[in-house]
Structure 1
């Protein structure tokens, strides 16, 4: 069975173009989400995945209607493959029910992996270069050295709880525990 999926980003947008294309492609049923592609969970997409069965083919008008990123798209198509469900994108003419379509998808997935690897490589090289220039990454600490000394003194006094210390300095309990640990104070749950 051909099952269609369409998505528009806002309630003001109209899904008619996509639905018309899905009908013309022979879809027996279709699901439409009115949600940003950035949302991990989309109600109609989730419902459709529950109802898909081996031998079905998921059809979309365009790849970006299904996945919010290349990585997400690859994960979804791999999930379909494991379910025994084919995939067709009408605009990109991708069809994983054929050997050629599977090849196109695998090339697409390989290019995405290559891009992720390049980004990781450039990021690591940039971090190394920054460290060599004496720069330290990460967010600046919310606490000064004097704050950390005061935190350790308050903690060791056992007159206030870690939660009270965190509230006083407007930080999380985890930040307080890291400050205590950095000062070499043995921790007990407080």
Structure 2
């Protein structure tokens, strides 16, 4: 059985052209599901209905790939579902038909491209983390600044330890310690040098 799916992005757009193309491709009108939503929308009742309707041995037919999905990942996810369920896929434009060897090859290429894209993202992430570490930026979970750690750091700084060294000693990022001691080491030393001067008599 052929199950059709058509989508337009807004209520102002017309589904007629896609529906007619699906009917010419052999899809019965009562087996055509439609949506009037953006492809990026997470909730598409028409697509959900079409995917529930197709059974093993059926073929899902769309006007074009961009009517089905708006990202490569989304497309691959749907194709994986269809492949696992032994359901064919056909795009009226683009000459993609997974019931043929050529169509299956195209989908495998899409999958390889998607995996390549994921690998590039992982590589860029690792490179970014390495570069941040090289600049001295702390990467990962933020260290919690407890009152005990702050007071201990203050004591170390008043005792002559450098601000950065004190932060490391108590297990805090320098930026975290600066938030609790805005003026840095000098502000703590100023506190010690403050003299309680009586008001003028």
* Aligned with residue 47 of structure 1, among 46, 49, 55: 49
Q: Which residue of 1 aligns with 2:134?
A: 132
Q: Which residue of 2 aligns with 1:172?
A: none
Q: Which residue of 1 aligns with 2:93?
A: 91
Deviating more after overlay: 80-89 vs 129-138: 129-138
What is the root-mean-square deviation of aligned Cα atoms in Å? Answer: 2.4
> Deviation at 1:113?
1.0
Matches within 5 A, 1:1-190: 1-28=1-28, 29-136=31-138, 149=147
Gaps of 5+ in 2: 149-201
Distance 1:17 1:110 in 2: 32
Aligned structure 1 segments of 4 or more residues deviating by more than 6 angstroms = 138-141
What are the Cα deviations for residues 21-53 of structure 1, in whole angstroms up to 9, with x where unaligned? 212211122111111222233111111222111
> Deviation at 1:130?
1.7
Gaps of 5+ in 1: 151-190
Q: Which residue of 2 aligns with 1:177?
A: none
SS in 1 for 2:99: coil
Distance 2:60 2:47 in 1: 11
> Deviation at 1:73?
0.9
> Deviation at 1:138?
7.3
Provide TM-score, normalisation by structure 1.
0.69
> Deviation at 1:139?
10
> Deviation at 1:127?
2.0
> Deviation at 1:128?
1.2
Q: 2:3·2:53 contact (CA, 8 Å) conserved in 1? A: no
